[in-house]
């Protein structure tokens, strides 16, 4: 009688579909770059010097695209945002692999 | 998205740029991107800077303060959702046939769910004592339909609750024991978990109620009392057994929670979860809230369903049609 108290076969629900989003940039101007960092920190985690990862639903993804794209100077900078498909896995080595968990208990 | 429970005494939450920083002393424990934070529950004395508070208010992130004893302290509330028309309607439906009809519906669901929990267990145990209690509950339940006031409904509900908890006491396995419900303070570990669990669900409902523009203190079933969010209590009834009771029984059954995770308070003699115990409990709670609710068509989480039901209540209230509200019936 393993599990009479919980519903059999419990699994986690996906209320809103979420995507792994990878954001990379090359920004010349320091002030502009800092602004980008600040903006991206509001959505995800910095995984490398100029790369962020985020795990977002569609609504927040759109918001991110909207906000970040306004910061770049299209003449001299570059910004690339990848919306990665469902089954993408991220494997990482070394520094910068922390991501924000869904349940934070401290 | 992220739900954060900060239970460490002396922790501090600050806003830096577009992220929240949880720290202690001068050390940063974690950074949470502001966009993905969905809810914050603070237990014990956690400090929140006023900059962080303003940001939480602006983004409409619900913040709840709870004591380590599971008692509710307060919420950070922004006034942006208040809908006075709905508030007025809530006051007008007091003691009307609408209120009584809806109360019956919710208590019927609650009792049904309680019986399901007992039967699930009794399929294996085949205890005559529990079978007898179930028949007594079924006999009492018949009266609810003919009740004409909410006092009568609550009266029968009280009788059933006592029977139900008596049966639950026979299910709880060693070394835990449970004789009857005791609140304020909870006298044993099981009561302590039940109270803490109900508090958590109640304040999720509270938040959903406010987000729907409704008033948490004007219920339709529980008697109106100062300092008591009666509507949250009303809407909690159908979920108690479904979310909390089953989870508490599972934690005990699977040996995930042990007696060493509880301590007796010297001030009031109540029994409460230790910090480690709280952490295990909160993890189990979050897992439950994120589990697929397979009893409704949408196949979304219990947390989603909880919010949807508040929305259904709002529709029922606006149209004065109790048919619009569909409580949860588990199988």
A105 touches chain B (CB under 8 A): yes
CB contact under 8 A, A106 and B22: yes
What pLDDT sits at residue A2?
46
| Mean predicted confidence (pLDDT) in B112-126 | 89
Residue A40 CB contacts under 8 Å (≥ 6 apart), including other chains:
A23, A46, A52, A54, A64, A68
Residues of B in contact with A105 (CB under 8 A): 4-5, 7, 279, 282-283
What pLDDT sits at residue A3?
57
Q: Give the residue from chain B lying closest to A6, CA to CA.
A: B246
Which of B170, B159, B179, B186 lies closest to B263, judged by CA? B186
As a whole-number percent, the residues of chain B with pLDDT over 70 amount to 99
B246 touches chain A (CB under 8 A): yes
Which of B24, B45, B43, B23 lies closest to B32, judged by CA? B23
**Strand arrangement of the beta sheet that strand B47-48 belongs to:** B27-33, B19-24, B11-16, B47-48
* In contact, B219 and B230? CB cutoff 8 Å: yes
Residues of A in contact with B1 (CB under 8 A): 57, 102
* In contact, B307 and B296? CB cutoff 8 Å: no
* SS3 state of residue B47: strand
| Mean predicted confidence (pLDDT) in B288-310 | 87
A38: nearest CB among B6, B17, B287: B17
Q: Is the confidence at residue B292, as pLDDT, over 90? A: no
Residues of A in contact with B301 (CB under 8 A): 12-13, 15
Q: Give the residue from chain B lying closest to A1, CA to CA.
A: B124
Distances in Å between the Cα of B321 and the Cα atoms of B167, B222, B272 are 35, 20, 42
| Mean predicted confidence (pLDDT) in B41-61 | 88
Max CA separation in chain A (angstroms): 66
Residues of B in contact with A10 (CB under 8 A): 291-292
CA pair distance B207, B246, nearest whole angstrom: 23
* In contact, B216 and B62? CB cutoff 8 Å: no
CB contact under 8 A, A60 and B303: no
What kind and span of H or E run contains A103? strand A103-105
Q: Is the confidence at residue A1, as pLDDT, over 50? A: no
B331 touches chain A (CB under 8 A): no
Which of B2, B4, B49, B46 lies closest to B24, judged by CA? B46
| Mean predicted confidence (pLDDT) in B193-203 | 92
Q: Is the confidence at residue B130, as pLDDT, over 80? A: yes
**A42: its two tokens:** 């509001």
Q: Is the confidence at residue A8, as pLDDT, over 60? A: no
Mean pLDDT check: name the lowest of B67-71, B217-221, B307-311: B67-71
Distances in Å between the Cα of B187 and the Cα atoms of B179, B184, B195, B270 are 10, 8, 11, 5
* SS3 state of residue B9: coil
CA pair distance B187, B183, nearest whole angstrom: 7
DSSP letter, residue A52:
E
Could you tell me what percentage of chain B is helix, strand and coil, using 3-state DSSP and rounding each to the nearest 5? 55, 15, 30
* In contact, B41 and B77? CB cutoff 8 Å: no
Q: Is the confidence at residue B69, as pLDDT, over 80? A: no
B8: nearest CB among A6, A15, A106: A106
Residue B13 CB contacts under 8 Å (≥ 6 apart), including other chains:
B6, B20, B21, B22, B23, B40, B42, B46, B47, B48, B49, B52
Number of Cα atoms under 13 Å in the Cβ half of residue B195: 24
A81 versus B72: the higher-pLDDT residue is A81
> Per-residue pLDDT tens for A37-85?
999 999 998 888 999 999 888 889 999 999 999 998 888 899 999 998 7
Q: What is the ipTM of this complex?
A: 0.76
CA pair distance B4, B7, nearest whole angstrom: 10
| Mean predicted confidence (pLDDT) in B203-223 | 90
Residue B168 CB contacts under 8 Å (≥ 6 apart), including other chains:
B117, B118, B178, B245, B249
Q: Is the confidence at residue A88, as pLDDT, over 80? A: no
Q: What angle in degrees, to the nearest 10, is found between the helix axes of B189-211 and B246-253?
A: 140
A8 touches chain B (CB under 8 A): no
A–B: how many Cβ contacts below 8 A?
117
DSSP letter, residue B96:
S
Q: How far is CA B71 from the centre of its chain?
A: 12
Beta bridge partners of B21: B14, B31
């Amino acid at each position: 009688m393993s599990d009479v108290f919980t519903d059999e076969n419990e699994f986690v629900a996906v209320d809103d579909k979420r995507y792994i989003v990878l954001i990379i940039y090359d920004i010349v101007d320091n002030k502009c770059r800092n602004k980008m960092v600040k903006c991206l920190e509001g959505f995800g985690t910095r995984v490398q010097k100029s790369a962020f990862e985020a795990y977002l639903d569609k609504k927040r993804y759109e918001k991110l695209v909207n906000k970040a794209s306004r910061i770049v100077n299209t003449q001299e900078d570059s910004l690339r945002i990848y919306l990665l498909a469902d089954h993408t896995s991220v494997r990482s080595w070394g520094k910068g692999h922390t991501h924000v968990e869904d349940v934070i208990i401290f | 998205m992220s739900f954060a429970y900060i239970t460490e005494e002396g922790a501090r939450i600050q806003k830096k740029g577009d992220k929240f920083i949880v720290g202690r002393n001068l050390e940063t424990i974690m950074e949470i991107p502001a966009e993905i934070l969905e809810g914050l529950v603070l237990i014990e004395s956690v400090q929140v800077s006023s900059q962080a508070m303003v940001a939480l208010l602006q983004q409409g992130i619900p913040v709840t303060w709870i004591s380590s004893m599971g008692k509710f302290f307060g919420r950070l509330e922004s006034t942006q959702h208040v809908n006075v028309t709905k508030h007025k309607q809530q006051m007008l439906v007091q003691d009307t046939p609408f209120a009584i009809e809806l109360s019956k519906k919710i208590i019927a669901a609650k009792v049904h769910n309680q019986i399901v929990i007992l039967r699930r267990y009794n399929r294996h145990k085949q205890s005559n004592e529990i079978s007898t209690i179930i028949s007594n509950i079924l006999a009492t339940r018949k009266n609810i339909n003919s009740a004409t006031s909410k006092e009568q409904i609550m009266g029968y509900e009280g009788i059933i609750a006592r029977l139900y908890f008596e049966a639950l006491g026979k299910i709880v396995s060693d070394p835990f024991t449970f004789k009857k419900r005791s609140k304020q303070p909870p006298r044993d570990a099981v009561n302590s978990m039940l109270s803490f669990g109900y508090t958590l669900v109640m304040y999720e409902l509270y938040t959903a109620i406010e987000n729907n523009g409704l008033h948490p203190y004007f219920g339709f079933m529980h008697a109106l009392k100062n300092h008591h969010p009666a509507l949250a209590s009303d809407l909690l009834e159908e979920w108690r057994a479904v979310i909390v009771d089953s989870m508490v029984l599972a934690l005990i059954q699977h040996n995930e929670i042990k007696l060493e995770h509880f301590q007796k308070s010297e001030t009031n003699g109540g029994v409460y979860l230790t910090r480690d115990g709280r952490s295990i409990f909160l993890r189990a709670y979050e897992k439950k809230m994120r589990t697929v609710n397979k009893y409704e068509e949408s196949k979304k989480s219990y947390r989603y369903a909880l919010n949807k039901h508040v929305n259904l209540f709002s529709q029922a209230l606006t149209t004065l049609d109790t048919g619009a509200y569909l409580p949860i019936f588990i199988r």
